[in-house]
Amino acid sequence: MTTEEIEKVTERGPAASAGVTRRLGPATGRPSEASVLNVFSHGILVVWALMVGVPLLWVLWSAFKDSNGILTDPWGLPTVLHWENWSNAWNDANMGQYFVNTAIVVGGSVVGTMVLGSMAAYVLARFTFPGNRFIYYLFVAGMSFPVFMLVIPLFFVLRDFPGSSLLATYHGLILVYIAYSLPFTVFFMTAFFRTLPTSVAEAAMIDGASHTRTFFQVMVPMAKPGLISIGIFNFLGQWNQYLLPMVLNQQEDKYVLTQGLAMIALQQGYENDWGALMAGMMIAMLPVLIVYSIFQRQVQSGLTAGALK
């Protein structure tokens, strides 16, 4: 805008001058606070992306190098693709069995957590009864206990379980994962169910639907964004869990991926197969990356649904 144009707009009145001020900004040559904050936030995101992405890429191309190439030129790209690293990790290092064990445990625990957590959250969010808030705050308090305080009591509970010991069993580890993930699931889903409209559930009840049918056929489809979001969080947390299986699952043929990777890393001091270790790390990371890349939009919509409503 030229000086003559600004003078003409100023002569038209305060409203036009205000519009020019909004377009020109508070002062010529001085960056606004919003632009400074924008540059700062983008800089933090770039640094964070480099901190996460560079090690991931390094592990990826190291998974195609032999041990000599990793040790002599750790940052160099592979000149020859050593696909045998993946077969060595899957077969020789027994990562295939560890992968199956992890899939069984995490699959069962995520399903159990989502079913029990969503049912408990729905009752706490929609029904008023004596002790409602007390039970809710018990779940909230469960998030404050560090897992390090629970492993020893859990060990004795599973070992002395009536009937048979639950140590080093799939169902024992699944039950522990469900109990560990329930507090945050109930906390998250209770807030989400409160944002859903009550008119649809009331209409279903008037039409003769039972509480169970209303929950599974009406409320669960409406809560799909929240369920997907909390399901992804539970999947990531349980897939990467190390301390609980390390204490409660000491049988080698029942090891999960995190235990298998620790065993491979320990064996590298004797076998020196670093390519297989890198390939094993990629095998453990790929399911997490694939799941998040598929459901990232659902996770974002689930996290913002409560705020938008």
- For 83, the 3-state DSSP assignment is coil
Using CB atoms within 10 A of its CB, is residue 226 exposed (0-12), middle (13-18) or buried (19+)?
buried
Q: How far is Cα 256 from Cα 246, in angstroms, rounded to an integer?
A: 9
The full DSSP string for 111-178 is: HHHHHHHHHHHHHHHH---TTHHHHHHHHHHHTTS-GGGTHHHHHHHHHT-SSS--TT-HHHHHHHHH
Nearest to 111 by CA among 26, 36, 177: 177
* First and final C-alpha spacing in the chain: 42
CA–CA distance from 70 to each of 29, 51, 65, 67, 121 (Å)? 51, 20, 6, 5, 50
When pLDDT is averaged across residues 131-147 and rounded to a whole number, the result is 91
Q: What is the pLDDT of residue 219?
A: 93
Contact status, residue 93 vs residue 276, Cβ threshold 8 Å? yes
Radius of gyration of the chain from Cα atoms? 27
Confidence label for 304 from pLDDT (cuts 50, 70 and 90): low
Confidence label for 266 from pLDDT (cuts 50, 70 and 90): confident
Question: Which pair of structure tokens corresponds to residue 270?
Answer: 């004797």
Which residues are CB-neighbours of 190 under 8 A, at least 6 positions away? 121, 124, 125, 136
Considering the chain, what is the average pLDDT of its residues?
85
Q: How far is Cα 143 from Cα 147, in angstroms, rounded to an integer?
A: 9
Q: How far is Cα 78 from Cα 60, in angstroms, rounded to an integer?
A: 10
Q: CB neighbours (10 Å) of residue 113? A: 26
Place of tokens 């060595």: 88
Judged against a pLDDT cut of 70, whether residue 147 lies above it is answered with yes
Confidence label for 6 from pLDDT (cuts 50, 70 and 90): very low
Judged against a pLDDT cut of 50, whether residue 57 lies above it is answered with yes
Q: What is the pLDDT of residue 17?
A: 47
Nearest to 122 by CA among 2, 239, 217, 17: 217
The pTM of the full predicted model, rounded to 2 decimals, is 0.81
Q: What is the DSSP letter of 74?
A: T
**Which CATH number applies to 84-308: 3.10.20.70, 1.10.3720.10, 2.60.40.1260, 3.40.718.10?**
1.10.3720.10
Q: How far is Cα 140 from Cα 133, in angstroms, rounded to an integer?
A: 10
Q: What is the pLDDT of residue 268?
A: 67
Q: How far is Cα 31 from Cα 62, in angstroms, rounded to an integer?
A: 44
- For 234, the 3-state DSSP assignment is helix
Contact status, residue 213 vs residue 204, Cβ threshold 8 Å? yes
Cα angle, residue 235 at apex, residues 101 and 268 outer, rounded to 5°: 50
Domain ranges of the chain: 1-51, 84-308
Question: Which pair of structure tokens corresponds to residue 287?
Answer: 């399911």
Count, residues in the chain? 309
Q: What is the pLDDT of residue 221?
A: 92
Confidence label for 303 from pLDDT (cuts 50, 70 and 90): low
Q: What is the pLDDT of residue 272?
A: 72
When pLDDT is averaged across residues 294-302 and rounded to a whole number, the result is 73
pLDDT tens, residue by residue, 165-207: 899 999 999 999 999 999 999 999 999 999 888 888 889 889 8
Q: What is the pLDDT of residue 38?
A: 86
Which residues are CB-neighbours of 228 under 8 A, at least 6 positions away? 295, 298, 299, 302
Q: What is the pLDDT of residue 265?
A: 81
